[in-house]
Amino acid sequence: MLLLAATLVQSSQGHARTFTRCQLSRELLRYNFPRSLIAHFSKTFTENKMPRPIILLLLLPATLVQSSQGHARTFTRCQLSRELLRYNFPRSLIAHWVCVIEHASGRTTEKVTNHNNAYTSYGLFQINNKDWCKKGRKGGHCSMKCEDLLNEDLADDVRCAKRIYDRVGFKAWPTSYAYCKEKSLPDLSRC
């Protein structure tokens, strides 16, 4: 059993704090660290591989800079449901949106799908560069760069997804919506 996972120096309080492996993961998630880095930290911070605190202190600023630049995020169903509600999606459509997003992107913001007909879909909502965004520059009906759909900042993704839905409804996501119509929608009652 792991007793110690990491020792972080908290400069504001001037004392060291000890975390278990789970506590460290929760703490890093709370500060929106990328899950890939959290997994790396969890593997690194074992009893046998515990780095010296000074090494950790050197790694944390680099990690903070990297995480502030907006990395990919994978949501659970409940997290996604809460995010959609936070962005004022109608409560009656949340299960539909979760299903469509789950089927289209696997609930991850970094998903990129290259289609046979020479266009590409990006991000959590799988918004395509055929009509809605442009690769490498702002453009399309959403007037945005497609690459901006690949980070944790959902504000621009939501704006575009709502614009798409207002114009054509779920028809913009035909495969996902057909799948969701045939299957039962996800149960979000425990969220």
Segment 91-109 shows an average pLDDT of 95
**Quick check: 133 and 121 in contact, CB under 8 A?**
no
**Mean pLDDT, rounded, of the chain:** 77
What would the pLDDT profile of 78-98 be if each residue is shown by its tens digit? 999 999 999 999 999 999 999
Segment 62-72 shows an average pLDDT of 48
Task: Please report, for the chain, the start and end positions of each structural domain, with discontinuous segments joined by +.
Answer: 6-68, 77-182
Class of domain 77-182: mainly alpha
Q: Using 50, 70 and 90 to split pLDDT, how confident is the model at 24?
A: low
The pLDDT value recorded for residue 184 is 81
**Percentage of the chain surpassing pLDDT 70?**
64
Q: Using 50, 70 and 90 to split pLDDT, how confident is the model at 77?
A: very high
Segment 24-32 shows an average pLDDT of 62
What would the pLDDT profile of 45-58 be if each residue is shown by its tens digit? 544 454 544 444 33
- What is the distance between the alpha carbons of residues 2 and 76, in angstroms, rounded to a whole number? 26
The pLDDT value recorded for residue 44 is 61
